[in-house]
Amino acid sequence: MTTAALAGHFATVLSDLAARPPSSANAEFTASVTGISVIAKGLLRATADGDVELATPAPGTVTADALSTLNFDVKLLPRLRSGTAAPP
């Protein structure tokens, strides 16, 4: 899986979680996931089209110090609307 596809997957998960309506319109509070922090270990390699791919080897085939660590945070950002545009 490419690193872009991996990050895109988690962005989709976060977006889906954000789209869930509150359990009750009268609730005094609501819980929400506003970000996901991801740490993945594997071997980074370049693909033919110039992207970077994270390969996860079978357990025991590569020593832990040979693995790369990929860290990224996926966060929700507010959409700022200008003028009198109606929300979607």
What pLDDT score was predicted for residue 88? 59
What pLDDT score was predicted for residue 86? 60
Which pair of tokens denotes residue 16?
Answer: 């889906």
* pLDDT average per 10 residues of sequence, the chain (88 residues): 86 86 78 86 90 89 90 84 65
Closest CA to 75 of 15, 29, 26: 15
Q: Residues 6 or more apart from 67 whose CB is under 8 A from it?
A: 41, 42, 43, 57
The pTM of the full predicted model, rounded to 2 decimals, is: 0.63
What pLDDT score was predicted for residue 67? 92
What pLDDT score was predicted for residue 15? 87
How is the chain split into domains, by residue range? 3-21+36-75
